Amino acid sequence: MPAIFTPKVVTANDLLHGDVVYLTADDQWSRRLTDAEVLTDEADAQVRLIDASARTSEVVGVYLADVAVSETGPKATHFREKFRTKGPSNYAHGKQEELR
């Protein structure tokens, strides 16, 4: 029996800044997971992944990440993704700087 497809988002790292980014419904890259397009159809997710992977002048390390859908937008479900949403861990810059 095939695995049931769970909601996903396309994520990558910004090529110039290294920030974690998420693909939005309007094909933009956002640093906020809550802006990401939630993909609930496996075929659509694969097409979005292929298209995003071709954007090699913008991002690297493109992949699909599992999420849970909430009223405030997608939420990371795996430890790795939760960690990536917080930004760099060595000192406050990037996303962490914005929280000050």
For every residue of 55-71, DSSP letters joined together read -TTTEEEEEEEEEEEET
* pLDDT at 91 > cutoff 80: no
Strand pairing partners for 69? 74
Q: Give burial (CB, 10 Å; 0-12/13-18/19+) of 25.
A: exposed
pTM here? 0.84
User: Could you report the per-residue pLDDT of 40-87, keeping only the tens digit for each?
Assistant: 999 999 999 999 999 999 999 999 999 999 999 999 999 889 888 876
